[in-house]
Amino acid sequence: MVSISGLLGAVALLPALVSAYALPEACSGTCTNAHDPSIIRRADGTYFRFSTGGKVAIHTAPSLTGPWTYRGAMLPSGSSINLSGNQDLWVHPAALSQNAMKLNN
């Protein structure tokens, strides 16, 4: 059971917790559809963002703040598993290895 004093104490901590996080920087270009993003930077300075949904959406940008450009889907046909949600795929963390990009599992 939660006491009123315990609940009030937790509520009093909320402003301190919120102010502990830095404000995000501005984003330009296609900044939506960025659920669970995995971002890597290629040697030429291009950033790649892979995100959940949109059949694993791929975006590129010259900097972290953009402008982000949609480049397509990693799996344009979606999953071959015939279940509900097979087009709304979750992205694993991306990595750059020997000049090849891969999604880790």
pLDDT tens column, 49-80: 988 887 888 999 999 999 999 999 888 888 88
**Predicted local confidence at residue 15, as pLDDT:** 66
Alpha-carbon Rg for the chain, nearest whole angstrom, is 19
Question: What are the tokens at 37?
Answer: 């993003």
Q: Helices (DSSP H) in 1-105: which residue ranges?
A: 4-19
β-bridge partners, 52: 35
Q: How far apart are CA 22 and CA 101, in angstroms?
A: 29
Phi, psi of 95 (to 5 degrees): -145, 155
In one-letter notation, the amino acid at residue 38 is S
Phi, psi of 93 (to 5 degrees): -60, 140
β-bridge partners, 38: 50
**5 has pLDDT over 80:** no
Q: How far apart are CA 57 and CA 2, in angstroms?
A: 43
- Is 32 in contact with 66 (CB distance < 8 Å)? no
pTM > 0.85: no
